A and B are shown apart, each in its own frame.
Chain A
Amino acid sequence: MNDMAESAALAAADYKSGYKPVWCPGCGDYGVLGAVTRALAILQRPPHEVAVVSGIGCSSRIPAYTSCYGFHGVHGRALAAGTGLKVARPDLTVIVAGGDGDGYSIGGNHFLHACRRNVDLTYIVMDNHVYGMTKGQASPTTEPDWDSKLAPGGTGVRSFHPLVIALAAGANFIARAFSGDSGGAAEIIAQAIRHPGFSFVEVMSPCVTFRPEQKDWKQSVRRTGVPETGDPAQAARRIMTDDGFNIGVLYAGDRPVYARERAATVTPAELEAEFAL
């Protein structure tokens, strides 16, 4: 077993399809692609046993850039598609990925219910606090005073705190990563995939085109010095009081994972008896 694993060891590059991404030069999403492929190499999971599921947005283009099975669905419904896939095919490793608009706005309801359902999958949000694909509108994580064509002078609406919401809704693993620290993000994503249940990784991924100021995130982020906690109260305090630039695993819980009894105890023909007179 060991020999085989060594001789056939998969490198991060083996998880890339080789298609040229549509992303702008410098987009944070390149770093996320690098982190996901490195994480899979850490886990040595064969690409054909991994499915990457997404919605719509710049970030949601990620499945086709991997050499895994991919599913690029409709805007906001990636978690639903990923949930159906994982429940029907528990043998696969399922990674759901997308943007902050996709996951927190149009897909917000699915986010809440995916957290509480706790199906064993990993959800990566590439958060750039903007709708990149539709060219620069405010998303739920955009600051209230950020000026845009659709909301001159800002939306005036308070931004959404995905990590607190995930914790309150029951996510079993919560982490923050930074696309500019691809190696660190890879470690976090690998840990998220290994962790049973719904694992949520919020990756700060700059949109250099519509939020050029996010290039400064590099200077602001830091790896959190404290070890992860399994205590939701402690995690809540930590998440609520940090400045949004702490990178690392913030919560790792042990809630029961959504699972269903699978062995068949009847055949369809046996069910007929119920109707026969």
Chain B
Amino acid sequence: MTAGTLLLDAAARAGLYGLMVRTSGPQIRGGEAAALLRLGPQPLATLDDRFDMLLAIDWQNLHRFADEIPLGPASLIVGDSGEGEAPEALLASGAQAVALPLKKTVKGATGAWVNMVALGFGGAIAGLPVEVLEEALRASWKRNPQALEANLTVLRQGFAFAAGLEGKRPQPLAMPAVAPAGRWLISGNEAAGFGAIRAGVRFVAAYPITPATEVLEWLAPALTRLGGTLLQAEDELASINMIIGAAYGGVPSLTATAGPGLALMTEAIGLAVTAEVPIVIVDVMRGGPSTGIPAKSEQSDLSFAVDGLPGDAPRLVLAPTSIGDCLTTTEWAVRLAEALQAPAIVLSDQFMGQSRAVVDQPPATGGTAQRLVAAANTPGYLRYADTPSGISPMAIPGTPGTTYTADGLEHTEKGIPSSQATDHSRQLDKRERKLMQYDYGPRWADVEGEADLAIITFGSTTGAVREAIARSALQGVGLRLVALRLLAPLQPAALDRALAGVRQVLVVEQNHGGQLLRYLRSRYDLPGRATGLHRPGPLPLRPGELTAAFIDWAAVQGSREGRA
């Protein structure tokens, strides 16, 4: 992991873009783990189909990653010369095995680490200058200076091994002439935390859960420095009700969790809907249902997020489309929740959350929407007034002359519990109307291209889809992209415009049941005969397989057209 992080940092210093995905075995700590890196001159939102090089410190349990680390005949498998042959599962790819004296190099060099030899070698193969690698190591060093020198020495030795490498090797990357400014190195979980803060969140309550914990770990010290609070709750029932209490008190509030925690929060999300309290829940999705596959990505909480509440409960559901967008979308979600006095669920996932990437500085265009607050001493104050927009001014405790009781029971405009049909339909209409009538602007989706065949997707899958669309275009197949950022409420009029002239759509997502396809079909008349391409986690959808599938699909649509 350390070597991977340093390689990513060095690449960023050299002016490249990069993406590092973490993957680990089932052990809680200390088990096998792999850092999967992709480096290049363009922004990278997805891993490629194959890796050029596998650098293994040892072979232990490496076969477990064989599916996640596809190699080909042009790839290198680099291991320690004292560790014997690489595992059969990896050699089957036809990749070339390279033995390096990793352990031997650090022998006698007190404080030197094997992975720094590997870093030097890997950096050299990637085409990075040795100075940049050294700079990255120096910048990260927090221990004693002697050991730093020892590690710099073995790093240089590792770098030199690459010069002596015989046989074929991957094409090194061309280094940009100048390192451009305005780039960030960030993980999706950090980005979500920072987005929340930018939008004004100053209270967070949460219960730890993989893969959402880093959102909280980043927020805890940041909130302290900003005069806010992160409270570790006793469970998710507490955390969600705590943020509802804090938001009722006027402080923008958020929690972060994953599927199991979201399931526990259900009842209180309904409370936030009915009592009209703005809250944001960042759900960093992992394999489900139940405890599922905690540390691996999947987009399978969508159905639950959009439909999974008792009663008619309109809520906001958003999904960032990249690591950098975790910032912008979370910021937007907080502002929308505040403006609409409604709960918002942000569907991030393990892939975006736990991966780090070099990104262009995310835009701070999450909007400026704010909570509509009641003025002190408003005569005849009605907390749940049935206004044309559906949004009614919210009195903040401490304000004189506007006291009221927020209620999860159905209520009158004043907030008095009521079981009458008229009050119920009136408040149901109001709560739906405020979400439906709101002008969400152009941010609801990324719409790219004009082709008459469209791919609809959401979340982290967008990266692979976008890349596959670009590759399809190189093969003469034009496709339009619609990557939804605002999943609920669905925007039929905007979809009409985005899909104008489209004959057929293909819905791509990472889950077993085709949840986005089913959701879209239930709320919208998709053009043509909409089909789905979906596969559950933990394996990501890769751009190569998507390209092949898109080209096949487009060909079928073309011949169907021909027959018609």
Q: Which residues of A contact B (CB under 8 A)?
A: 19, 46-49, 51-53, 56, 61, 63-64, 67-74, 76-77, 80-89, 91-92, 109-110, 112-113, 260-268, 271-272, 275-277
Contact = CB atoms under 8 A, between A and B. Distances in A.
B242 A81 contact: yes
B178 to A, nearest CB: 13
Interface string B166-197: 00000000000001000111100010001001
Given A72-B409, A77-B237, A277-B12, A89 B397 contact: yes
Contact of B399 (A48, A74, A113): A48
A90 B406 CA distance: 19
Chain B: interface secondary structure? mixed
Contacts of B226: 264, 266-268, 271
B202 interface: yes
30 contacts: A48-B401, A48-B402, A51-B397, A63-B405, A64-B407, A69-B397, A70-B404, A70-B405, A72-B417, A73-B241, A73-B406, A74-B271, A81-B245, A81-B248, A83-B231, A83-B245, A84-B241, A84-B246, A84-B247, A85-B249, A87-B229, A88-B202, A89-B249, A89-B398, A109-B238, A260-B224, A271-B194, A271-B225, A272-B194, A277-B358
Contact of A266 (B225, B233, B241): B225
A92 B405 contact: no
Interface in B248-280: 248-251, 253, 267-268, 270-271, 275
A84 B253 contact: yes
B229 A48 contact: no
Contacts of A271: 194, 197, 222, 225-226
B136 to A, nearest CB: 11
B231 A87 contact: yes
A88 B194 CA distance: 19
A80 B234 CA distance: 9
Contacts of B448: none
A109 B237 CA distance: 10
A70 B229 contact: no
Contact of A71 (B197, B225, B405, B416): B405
B229 A88 contact: yes
Contacts of A261: 224, 227
B140 to A, nearest CB: 14
Interface of B: 12-13, 179, 183-186, 190, 194, 197-198, 202-203, 205, 222, 224-227, 229, 231, 233-235, 237-251, 253, 267-268, 270-271, 275, 358, 361, 395, 397-409, 415-417
A134 to B, nearest CB: 15
B184 A275 contact: yes
Contacts of A80: 233, 237-242, 245
Q: Which of A47, A53, A56 has the most CB of B within 10 A?
A: A53
A87 B271 contact: no
A48 B249 CA distance: 12
Chain A: interface secondary structure? mixed
Given A19-B416, A84-B203, A113-B238, A276 B244 contact: no
A170 to B, nearest CB: 13
The 10 closest A-B pairs by CB, nearest first: A70-B405, A84-B245, A84-B242, A88-B246, A80-B241, A81-B245, A264-B227, A85-B245, A77-B241, A69-B397
Given A46-B400, A72-B409, 8 more contacts: A72-B408, A81-B242, A84-B205, A84-B244, A88-B203, A89-B246, A92-B249, A276-B183
Q: Which of B12, B229, B401, B405 has the most CB of A within 10 A?
A: B405
A113 B242 CA distance: 13
Contacts of B240: 80
Contacts of A81: 241-242, 244-245, 248
A197 B241 CA distance: 20
A48 B398 contact: yes
A20 B233 CA distance: 36
Contacts of A71: 245, 248, 275, 405-406
A44 B114 CA distance: 70
A73 B249 CA distance: 14
B248 A85 contact: yes
A73 B224 contact: no
A276 B404 CA distance: 45
Nearest to B239: A80
Given A71-B248, A72-B408, A92-B249, A110 B400 contact: no
Nearest to B234: A113
Contacts of A67: 403
Contacts of A264: 225-227
Contact of A82 (B245, B268, B402): B245
A85 B241 CA distance: 10
Nearest to B415: A64
B184 to A, nearest CB: 4
A53 B397 CA distance: 12
Given A84-B242, A275-B186, A64 B405 contact: yes
Contacts of B233: 80, 113
A53 B222 CA distance: 29
A63 B248 CA distance: 14
B203 A277 contact: no
A265 B406 contact: no
Contacts of B399: 48
A77 B268 contact: yes
Contacts of B205: 84
Contacts of B253: 84, 88
Contacts of B247: 84
Given A64-B416, A80-B245, A84-B241, A73 B184 contact: no
Contact of B251 (A68, A89, A110, A266): A89
A69 B395 CA distance: 9
A87 B241 CA distance: 13
A64 B415 CA distance: 9
Contacts of B224: 260-261
Contacts of A70: 403-406
Contacts of B242: 80-81, 83-84, 87
A255 B240 CA distance: 27
Contacts of A72: 405-409, 417
Contacts of B222: 271
Nearest to A263: B227
A277 B182 CA distance: 7
A74 B241 contact: yes
Given A85-B248, A113-B234, A265 B225 contact: yes
